[in-house]
A = this chain, B = another copy of it.
């Protein structure tokens, strides 16, 4: 199983991505990795892998990519000038079938734009959505989408997101009937924007979908649904606010124990529990957002991820490969869309913008 890695994406540079990729390769012996970036730089990183990761070096191949997509570059500029970048060449490798998934920690907008150009979308999806799993109560997880690829979303797009999330949760996570919800400002039917209310009406009628209606923001973490759908502006704001709040709370937990557990004994006793706690709250364990709807598997690693986070993103890509996610999406969404088109033909209504 060959995974293509944009080794230059991410704020921490190629050391984090190369080490993270190496960690994933050690964890899964099927993997071989193609690393895209300036050859000399990446070969140096591979040569200086720490001892515990060094064995993965033999399964890592460098593909020279002199260019780089800067974090602030507009998608249109990335399309125009980014052809020799590690991100674009990684995606080309994926599009040509030489790798079965790609991972990048770089500029999301550029990744989306270059990914669409290189591969296109499946199942009639006009534009991919970004989704990531979020930890919930009872050690569960919930997919939230969209996270920023579509800052405004018509009811049609919200329905697409629900369908894609459902397919992902069913195939990748093995849930037989994933519970799908729409994010809204109240649980009552009268609330929300027109597109949310229209999407609600359409989701209620979709055959085979385990649609649970509206949830409010706290419903994302309640563990009572498996997929929560919203437009990309809302999803992005909610995800980043959650990251910020979790960081603040973990810092406060730590400060509380440092302030009040003066005694050496108690401090020592508390340390392992606090370490475990930090681990459980760690967003790194949930790193790796899927570009759902693309005709290929691309996982976006959080820009600020360290090697450990990047490793999770690579392993997320592996999971999607194992379940052949784009093919499932193409098959199921293609069918759904045919149904929908015939229904629209019969009723004459479609709110696509």
Interface segment among A38-46, A51-59, A254-262: the answer is: A254-262
Q: Which residues of B contact A272 (CB under 8 A)?
A: 260
Which residues of chain A (9-32) have a CB below 8 Å from chain B?
none
Q: What is the total number of residues of chain A having a CB less than 8 Å from a CB of chain B?
A: 57
Query: In this assembly, does A286 line the interface, its C-beta being within 8 Å of a C-beta of chain B?
Result: no
Interface residue from B238, B248, B260 paired with A241 (Cβ < 8 Å): B238
Query: Nearest chain-B residue to A279 (Cβ)?
Result: B256
Decide yes or no whether A206 CB sits under 8 A from chain B.
no
Q: Is the interface of A mostly helix, strand, loop or mixed?
A: helix
Would you call A183 an interface residue if the criterion is a C-beta within 8 Å of the partner chain's C-beta atoms?
yes
Chain B residues with Cβ below 8 Å from A335 are: none
- Assuming the contacts A151-B192, A280-B252, asked whether A218 and B240 have C-beta atoms less than 8 A apart, the reply is yes
* A241-B218, A253-B253, A256-B276 known; A185 vs B281 contact (CB < 8 Å): no
Question: Cβ of A241 and Cβ of B217 under 8 Å apart?
Answer: yes
Choose one: B151, B243, B273; the contact of A261 (CB below 8 Å).
B273
Please state the number of chain copies in the assembly: 2
Bound state CA distance, A238 and B238, in angstroms? 5
Q: Does A152 contact B (CB under 8 A)?
A: yes
Q: How far is the CB of A111 from chain B (nearest CB, A)?
A: 14
> A220 interface residue, CB < 8 Å from B?
yes
B252:A277 contact, CB within 8 angstroms:
yes
Chain B positions within 8 Å of A183 at CB level: 237
A249 at the interface (CB under 8 A from B): yes
The answer to whether A217 and B193 touch (CB under 8 A), given A237-B230, A252-B280, A257-B273, is no
Which of the residues B230, B237, B252, B261 comes within 8 Å of A281, measured between beta carbons? B252
